[in-house]
Amino acid sequence: MIKILFTSLSGFPKEETGGPNKIINAIASGLPESKFNLEFISKHGKYDFNQKGEVSKRKEFDLLRELFFNKSKIYRGLFTSSFYLKRFFQKSIIRITQLLTESDFDILNAHDVRTLFNFNTEKRIILSVHSKGSIVNDMISLYGKREKLKKLFSEFNELEIKTLKKVNQIIFPSDAARKLYFQDLNLNSEDYNTRVIYNGIDIEKINSITPDDSFFKSFPYLVNKKLKILNVANHIQVKNIDKILYVLNKLLNKTKDFIFINVGAGPLTNYLKSLSNELGLRNNVIFLPILKNEEIIKLMKSCDVYISLSERVIFDLVILEALASGMKVIASNDGGNREIIVDRFNGYLVDSNDSEKIASILFEENYDFSESIKNTIERFSIERMIDEYVKVYEGKEN
């Protein structure tokens, strides 16, 4: 029996979110119980995967906190202030280090490099990287490049580089993620033991989900519009949702019979709503709050086109989910998108600044990519991802 200890900075493993906790949940759910004993640690405490009921209240709390963060400017301002962030990270890392010191494990699979900053062990450490480049660049995209956080960012940059020296292996979700990471840190990837394991989707589960009458009653605009366009992304700058709105403004010149739905939230929500009104899209754009994964799949199966114009893309699971749901996908020609989409073979890769061309693809292009999409998603199944992690844990990857 191999004892695996997963870590991330906060929260608990769950499917309803993105990022490391979703991947940890997927890996843990698929590992054979006869071979592995699994535990998880974050600043919120320890979670034993054999006693799953104990995490339910924590999930409810996380959802409530997320709601306040996305809806309340005062709440968001308080909890992203320089004073709060410094204390948050200091206390989080101390708490995680304490829990790690008290834990028994054979392999530590960290899914956030910050959880390793103050911890040393002779046991095997695997780091799975989910950040868009270095962890500091990820933090800057969330909190801004503030003068009051400059010292914290500098310290974290040094700690990240130092931490990599005590890691036995680094796993990335794409080649693009690996290149961006070492580029940000100004390090040579060949000096480290790295490998790529693509994140996977549960194809069988996606195939089992079907939108029913009650779903369409909740979303009546899905029935009334000819062209239905979907995007699932939080309202932060790197997601470039504003660029999508400019594309839709161009689309208005070709047709008004469309609806664009964004599922997400974040600090740019008010700006994006205001921009959509300024661009004459009041009757064509709907912003929905964060939904459960099953509801998102139902939306995907009810819409025609999935569009993502994100930058600094490492690997976007939602694009795979859209392909598996039968959607036509338009994605920025950036990073990890190029490892999923082959232009005009299983989707479209576009220049995110060419709004006129993207609008034309939305309106005119109607290729059938179904056969090539089927072959694509089979390469990125959750089963394949888990098999690759099993090889890593058992030392059989070569």
pLDDT at 192 over 70: yes
CATH superfamily, domain at 2-200+381-393: Glycogen Phosphorylase B; (3.40.50.2000)
Q: Please list the alpha-helical segments (H only) found in 221-350.
A: 221-224, 241-251, 269-278, 293-302, 317-324
Q: 324 near 344, Cβ under 8 Å?
A: no
pLDDT band, residue 57 (cuts 50/70/90): very low
pLDDT at 296 over 50: yes
According to the model, what pLDDT value does residue 56 have? 39
Integer CA distances (angstroms), 284 to 235, 258, 261, 298, 349, in order: 18, 6, 9, 20, 24
Mean pLDDT of 45-67: 57
Q: Which of 41-55, 202-216, 237-251, 332-346 has the lowest mean pLDDT?
A: 41-55
Ranges 12-26, 41-55, 213-227, 276-290, most confident: 276-290
Alpha-carbon Rg of the chain, whole angstroms? Answer: 21
According to the model, what pLDDT value does residue 80 have? 63
Can you give the residue ranges of every domain in the chain?
Answer: 2-200+381-393, 203-379
Do strands 36-42 and 2-7 pair parallel, antiparallel, or not at all (unpaired)?
parallel
Q: How much is the mean pLDDT over the chain? A: 89
pLDDT at 328 over 90: yes
Edge-to-edge, what's the strand order for the sheet holding 36-42? 45-48, 36-42, 2-7, 107-110, 124-128, 169-172, 194-196
According to the model, what pLDDT value does residue 398 have? 59
According to the model, what pLDDT value does residue 174 have? 95
CATH code, residues 203-379: 3.40.50.2000
Mean pLDDT of 27-56: 81
Q: Which of 251-255, 346-350, 368-372 has the lowest mean pLDDT?
A: 368-372
According to the model, what pLDDT value does residue 72 have? 52
Give CA–CA dist 100/297, Å, rounded: 36
pLDDT at 63 over 50: no
- Its pTM stands at 0.86
227: Cβ contacts below 8 Å, ≥ 6 apart: 255, 257, 258, 259, 304, 305, 362, 363
Q: Identical fold at 2-200+381-393 and 203-379?
A: yes
Of the chain, the percentage scoring pLDDT greater than 70 comes to 91
pLDDT at 53 over 50: no
Rounded to the nearest 10 degrees, the angle between the axes of helix 355-364 and helix 241-251 is 60
- Assigned token pair, 144: 């801004």
Mean pLDDT of 290-305: 93
Question: Residue written as tokens 């304490």?
Answer: 98
Give CA–CA dist 23/200, Å, rounded: 9
pLDDT at 177 over 60: yes
Residue 282 has a CB neighbour count (10 Å cut-off) of 10
> What values do phi and psi take at 284, rounded to 5?
-120, 0
For the stretch 133-152, pLDDT in tens is 999 998 888 788 888 889 99
pLDDT at 74 over 80: no
